[in-house]
Structure 1
């Protein structure tokens, strides 16, 4: 079977959550017997990705592949013909949309990987209200087209699957759950500890979108530190420009950007606790990654976060400052221990389980 994979997310942002999942799907397909993997992407003319992927003859901008005119040119002008020329049996779109804007050739199957629907249900980060409205309309049409044309829609959580069925009732029968792959990363204990982190620190990963809830989280953390000297320093993996100016340079706040996998996992491995205050998540990759190192997590109630951590993990109301702050004070006074049981929980998202889920879905599609 010749499988085409939309590799654009991994070309543009290989370390992003979606980029890592595209690479995970790539590795699982490469390891599958009887499967030939073909990558389809855009890239600048001198980009090394062109050595391993089918790309349009024109140069693709790494910054701005999500722009409607760039996507249309790829999905309408390049992709349909390229899939026919390469005799692709199955094409997998990997970024919530992106199936070809054409009629589907006889015998060819299309799958949409739909991570979440927050482009349609949440306020997203844009420079202006007009741009936000334009993207909302375009994203709605693009996602609806791909959901309609897909033979199957794969979601990483039951939450995302349910949201897909709620917004697109016609698609309920073809929605399936393919939990994300979270690869364990083993690190030497003390040798891997970053030299420039406080002895005790809490960790949070992701700041860009409003749904990450960072302004409220930082306000609660600062208030908790004013009440108790037990509250640790905070390491935030993200960019200071993603939060209002008054929260960017708080005492005890440390920013990190541009980390590779080893550096990020080193922070997970030595954090006292990972905090995930998002009020909307389609999966919650940092939660499972931290649990894989035996690191306790504290997370907001609701969305997919209800699925990705043990039931006894501390939880709080993402919109209730008092509840969030009380949780912080409690964990500062009585930190949770690191536990092998947390690592065992995370193993359900390890490669063996992911590949079996994928195999079951591919077999169902073939039959």
Structure 2
């Protein structure tokens, strides 16, 4: 089977959740015995990927692949002809949208990896009102088009699958669950070069409002004022979306986006990962933390309810008093059952993921 994979997330932002999953899927597809994998992406003139992937003749920066003119040029001006020329059987787009625009090559089947519908349901950060409006409209149209033309829609959680079926009932029969891959780390974890406190809680992902980070910091600060046992807070993902007054709080440490080895080092060193998101399609940092043997506490609702074991501390992402009470309770360090956490996380590791991808491709072939 000749499988095409849209590799734009892997080249533009390989450290965020969708980018990491794009890279992981490419790795697994490349290892399947009956798959002949072809990567497709625009790229800079000197990018090493040009020697192994199919790239348009025009030069494109690695970042900014989501910008509308570049997307249209790639999805309409390049992809339909490239898929036909290479005889691709199945083509996969991995970032909620992006399936090629017509004309559709005869015989090719389209797969849409739809992580969530929050681009339709929630507001994201943009630099201007005009930019926000343009992207809201274009994302809406692109997601709806991709849902319509996809032969299969892969979601990372049952929560996301149910949301797709609710919003797009005509597409419900096309939806399949493919949980995200959390690889077994083979490289040695390393701590970031920036200084770290001796004890800290960890939050990973700060960009979108749905991550609920300012709300969490506000109540962490209130808890800390009355309880000196509350650890410092380390945030990974940059601080531009954290209010300036919170960035300056004693005990708040902000890290940029990190590579796998440094992120793994932070997971291992953290006392606990907190994930306060009020809208989550999977919750990749939660599984990554448990894979390192680090306990977690998660907001209730959306997909976080299904990816953690029974007994995991949970809290409403809207109830400040309840999360403060939970922080006081969890401030006293207790030795976790790291093996049990790692065993749970293994259900999202390479072997079950590879088997599920092979099963879904076989279904398409049949």
TM-score range, shorter chain: over 0.9
Shifted more, 330-339 versus 246-255: the winner is 330-339
SS in 1 for 2:267: helix
Matching of residues 65-76 of structure 1 within 5 Å: 65-76=65-76
Give the Å deviation of 1:130: 3.0
Deviations, residues 224-248 of structure 1 (Å, cap 9, x unaligned): 1101000001111021111111111
SS at match of 1:356: helix
Q: Is the 8 A contact 1:95 1:114 kept in 2?
A: yes
Using the alignment, how far apart are the partners of 1:329 and 1:341 within structure 2? Answer: 24
Q: Is residue 84 from structure 1 mapped to residue 106 from structure 2 by the alignment?
A: no
SS at match of 2:289: helix
Q: Could you tell me how far apart the structure 2 residues matched to 1:132 and 1:15 are?
A: 24
Question: Does the aligned pair in 1 maintain the 2:219–2:324 contact within 8 Å?
Answer: yes
What residue is the counterpart of 1:202 in the other structure?
A: 201
Q: TM-score, length-normalised on structure 1?
A: 0.96
Go from structure 1 to structure 2 and tell me whether the alpha carbon gap of 1:149 and 1:187 turns closer, same or farther (over 3 Å shift): closer
- How much has 1:91 moved relative to structure 2? 0.5
Most deviating of 194-203 and 319-328: 194-203
Distance 1:225 1:179 in 2: 36
Q: Return the offset for 1:185.
A: 1.9
When residues 76 and 192 of structure 1 are mapped into structure 2, their CA distance, relative to the original with a 3 A threshold, is closer
Distance (whole Å) between structure 2 residues aligned to residue 258 and residue 305 of structure 1: 22
Per the alignment, residue 362 of structure 2 pairs with 363
Could you tell me how far apart the structure 1 residues matched to 2:88 and 2:159 are?
31
SS at match of 1:24: helix
What does residue 102 of structure 2 align with? 102
TM superposition shift of 1:323: 1.3
Residue by residue over 1:304-334, the C-alpha shift from the partner in whole angstroms, topping out at 9 and shown as x without a partner, is 1111111211000101111111111110035
Query: What is the TM-score of this pair, normalised by structure 2?
Result: 0.96
The question of whether the paired residues in 1 share the 8 Å contact of 2:93 and 2:113 is answered with yes
- The root-mean-square deviation of aligned C-alpha atoms, in Å, is 1.5
The answer for the alignment partner of 1:152 in structure 2 is 152
User: Which residue is 2:222 aligned to?
Assistant: 223
Secondary structure at the counterpart of residue 303 of structure 2? helix
Partners of 1:72 and 1:114 in 2: CA distance: 19
Equivalent residues of 2:271, 2:333 under 8 A apart: no
- The CA deviation at 1:134 is 2.0
Alignment of 1:327-346 (within 5 A): 327-333=326-332, 335=334, 337-346=336-345
Listed as ranges, the matches of 1:174-193 within 5 Å are: 174-185=174-185, 192=190
SS in 2 for 1:107: coil
SS in 2 for 1:198: coil
CA contact (8 A) 1:272 1:335 kept: no
Task: Give the match for residue 5 of structure 2.
Answer: 5
Verify: 1:55 aligned to 2:17, yes or no.
no
Deviates more, 1:207-216 or 1:334-343: 334-343
Which sits farther off after the overlay, 332-341 or 27-36? 332-341
1:333 alignment partner, SS class: coil
3-state SS in 1 of match to 2:254:
strand
1:269 maps to: 268
How much has 1:63 moved relative to structure 2?
A: 2.9
Work out whether residues 276 and 298 of structure 2, in 8 Å CA contact, stay in contact via their aligned partners in 1: yes
Judge which range, 106-115 or 179-188, deviates more.
179-188
CA gap of 1:288–1:27, structure 2 versus 1, over 3 A, is: same
1:18–1:95 Cα contact (<8 Å) kept: yes
Please say if residues 232 and 332 of structure 1, whose CA atoms lie closer than 8 Å, have aligned partners that are also in contact: yes
Match of 2:29?
29
- Following the alignment from structure 2 to structure 1, what is the Cα–Cα distance between the partners of residues 8 and 186? 28
Distance 2:247 2:337 in 1: 30
Partners of 2:217 and 2:279 in 1: how far apart?
Answer: 17
- Whether the aligned pair in 2 keeps the contact of 1:184 and 1:289 (CA below 8 Å) is no
Q: What SS is found at the alignment partner of 1:303? A: coil
Count of residues paired in the alignment:
365
Counterpart position of 1:246: 245
Counterpart CA distance in 2 for 1:91 and 1:135 is 24
**Distance in 1 of aligned mates of 2:340 and 2:258:** 27
Q: Following the alignment from structure 2 to structure 1, what is the Cα–Cα distance between the partners of residues 129 and 162?
A: 29
Question: After the TM superposition, which of the residue ranges 73-82 and 23-32 deviates more from structure 2?
Answer: 23-32
In the alignment, which residue of structure 2 is the partner of 1:115?
A: 115
Contact 1:114 1:154 in 2 (8 A): yes
Find the counterpart in structure 2 of residue 44 from structure 1.
44
